[in-house]
Amino acid sequence: MDQIKKELKQPYTEYTLDMFLRSAGKDHAEIHQFNRWREEVIKAGKYTFEIPHLYAQKSEIEVQRITGEKYNLINFASYNYLGYSYHPEVLSSAKEALDTYGLGATGSPLLNGTFNLHKIFERKLAEYFGLEGYGVSLFSSGYGANIGVISAYIHKGEHVVLDRSSHASLFDGALLSQGKITLFKHNDIEHLEKVLKRISHENSRVLICTEGVYSADGDYGKVKEIVQVAKRYDAKVLVDEAHSLLLAGSNGKGVAEEQGVLEDVDLIIGTFSKSFAGVGGCLYAKEEIINYINYYARSRVFSCAIDPAVTGGLIKALELAGGSDGKIKRVKIKKNAKYFRSKLFGKVDIGTSETWIIPVIYGHERITIPLSDFLHKEGVDISLMMFPAVPKNKSRLRVFVTSEHSKEHMDKGADAILKAAKKFGFLLDD
């Protein structure tokens, strides 16, 4: 506990990022104050944000801090769930596409930025999901997919109903739509029903948004139950499968597949930055919706198409994930996640985690910076989430387990977390 007392005396631990969000005055005080804080953290040698990685996002990485110090770390901070960002077949497919199509798409997908490679990828994705009459719309990021789809689908005066734990891109999509935003308590179907009862008397569209796997909590969205309630109130359902596509469900189609409701979900969002290990996003929906979104989702129309090399790599990643490689890796990631959770369960607070995302709630945001520094020194890289991304006093480490971690990696990772928990006072029975 001495460590914590000493660290908490540092003035930079008193601040959280929300405090510099905006100032009421017309000068740029928030910019000035934020920079002052950042400089203090740097001066103390504790700055671990935006840390440059020197090689690929493998299970073992090398990073270099702003001070020039290099660290060899076990990587639990990357959502490269199936290791495809450095898979040799994915890379050679990307290189081939690069040689054929060049560096950038140099245009919006609606106008001149679409290559036959994009069309192949769309078709393969649609075949992978497999529903008759459905199609795919590609976006240059998962964030872009959420903001583009929600704001095209919902208009002023209509309703977006969001789980409280929703990702920022769902909130931002709702804001951009100018619809009325209503929140329900995380995964609380009874509360969702109360909300629907209250708002659905108005004759306007209601879109309920959930995530397949919640990115901050690591639990499954209750997609099946949401679909059932939605039907009763004539509401539509969007499922963001960012952290579940290629991972959940017997064929990796996501949580909607796992819970047997793929056909009942109106809009499925995927990202290519996680298990696909590239970049980009998509909507999977009925073809007529896809056609409309292609023209009216502004983040798609007014932004460049995914670059050819990445698209080439994504096609190969999909092929691998849809075959025996995917089957083996899905079993492996679930086994690894179960093992890692068992190493932590009962010793630290892992919240409601039941997947490959394992939060370790350490509570007070003031220890965030010293804790991140400590973990580096113990040889592990784990990202930290603090207020306002998560509630105050619910600041957390967020461990991403991949299919590529070995038992040794996980043992070392869990040991480092438990050592930190003891030092910083978040061990459960301390």
Partner 1 sequence: MTKRENIDLLVWNFDFALSTFYEIESWQVEKLLPPRIIPMEVTPGVALINITVFNFPEGGLGKLPEFQELILSIIVLPDLSRDVPKFAMYVISLSSTCQEHLDHSSDYYKLPSFKKLSFGNIDKKNINVEFGDSDGKILTMQNCNPQANYRNEKRYFQAFTTKNEVIYVADIYIRAKLFDHQQSGYTGKLFNHPFFKQLEVEDTEPVSYLQMIAAPNVLGQQIYYRPKKFI
In the set 4, 12, 13, 15, which binds partner 1 (CB under 8 A)? 15
* Residue 391: contacted member of ligand PLP, partner 1, none (CB under 5 to 8 Å, by partner type): partner 1
Q: Which stretch binds partner 1 (CB under 8 A): 11-19, 220-228, 233-241, 352-360?
A: 11-19
Say which DSSP state 277 is in.
Answer: -
Binding test (CB under 6 A) with ligand PLP, winner from 254, 278, 281, 326: 281
SS3 427: coil
Which residues are 264's β-sheet partners?
A: none
Which of the choices ligand PLP, partner 1, none does residue 25 contact, using the CB cut-off of 5 to 8 A by kind? Answer: partner 1
Considering only residues 181 to 210 of the shown chain, the ones binding ligand PLP according to CB under 6 A are none
Q: What is the CA radius of gyration of the chain?
A: 22
Both tokens of 118, joined, read 């994009």
Q: Assess contact for 168 and 328: CB atoms under 8 A.
A: no
Does residue 186 contact residue 213 with C-beta atoms inside 8 Å?
Answer: no
CA nearest neighbour of 73 among 50, 57, 49: 57
Ramachandran area for residue 23 (φ above 0: left; ψ -120 to 50: alpha; else beta): beta
Residue 145: CB atoms within 10 A of its CB come to 30
Binding residue for ligand PLP (CB under 6 A) from 114, 273, 311, 402?
273
Q: What is the C-alpha separation between 269 and 238, in angstroms, rounded?
A: 7
Spatial separation of the C-alpha atoms in residues 349 and 365, rounded to whole Å: 15
Q: List the one residue out of 352, 379, 343, 362 whose CA is nearest residue 422.
A: 362
* Shortest distance, position 372 Cβ to partner 1, whole Å: 21
Closest to partner 1 by CB, 260 vs 391, is: 391
Residue 243 C-beta: closest distance to ligand PLP, Å: 6
Interface with partner 1 in residues 374-403 (CB under 8 A): 388, 391-394
**Which residue lies nearer to ligand PLP by CB, 83 or 142?**
142
Q: Interacting stretch for ligand PLP, rule CB under 6 A, among 18-26, 141-149, 318-326, 411-419?
A: 141-149
Closest separation in Å from C-beta 171 to ligand PLP: 11
Instruction: List the one residue from 83, 109, 142, 179 that touches ligand PLP (CB under 6 A).
Output: 142
Residue 122 CB, shortest distance to ligand PLP, in Å, is 17
User: According to the binding rule CB under 8 A, does residue 24 interact with partner 1?
Assistant: yes
What is the rounded distance in angstroms from the CA atom of residue 93 to the CA atom of residue 422? Answer: 46
Nearer to ligand PLP, 254 or 281 (CB): 281
Number of H helices, E strands in the chain: 15, 13
Stretch that binds ligand PLP, among 106-114, 235-243, 354-362, 375-383 (CB under 6 A): 235-243
Nearer to partner 1, 45 or 391 (CB): 391
Give the H/E segment covering residue 50.
none
Counting contacts by CB under 6 A, is residue 218 touching ligand PLP? no
Q: Which residue, judged by CB position, is nearest to ligand PLP in the bound state?
A: 142
- Exactly one of 33, 204, 352, 383 binds partner 1 (CB under 8 A); that residue is 33
| Helices 142-153 + 168-177 axis angle, to 10 | 30
Q: Nearer Cβ to ligand PLP, position 83 or 270?
A: 270
* Beta carbon of residue 206, minimum distance to ligand PLP (angstroms, whole number): 21
Q: Which two tokens mark 119?
A: 């069309």
Q: How far is the CB of 178 from partner 1 (least distance, A)?
A: 11
With beta carbons less than 8 A apart as the criterion, state whether 195 and 208 touch: no
| Those residues with Cβ within 8 angstroms of residue 419's Cβ, 6 or more apart along the chain or in another chain | 378
Minimum gap (Å) between residue 281 Cβ and ligand PLP: 5
How is residue 253 written in tokens? 């189609």
Query: Are residues 400 and 356 in contact, defined by beta-carbon separation less than 8 angstroms?
Result: yes
* Beta-bridge mates of residue 361: 349, 396
Q: Residue 167 binds which entry of partner 1, ligand PLP, none, with Cβ cut-offs from 5 to 8 Å by kind?
A: ligand PLP
> In the numeric block, which tokens belong to residue 315?
């096609």
Angle at 232 between CA 147 and CA 244, to 5 degrees: 40
The helix/strand/coil state of 395 is strand
Measured from the CB of residue 370, what is the shortest distance to ligand PLP in angstroms? 25
Contact positions vs partner 1 (CB under 8 A): 15, 18-25, 27, 29-30, 32-33, 37, 164, 171-172, 174-175, 180-183, 388, 391-394
Instruction: Write out the residues near ligand PLP by the rule CB under 6 A.
Output: 141-143, 146, 167, 169, 211, 215, 240, 242-243, 271, 273, 281
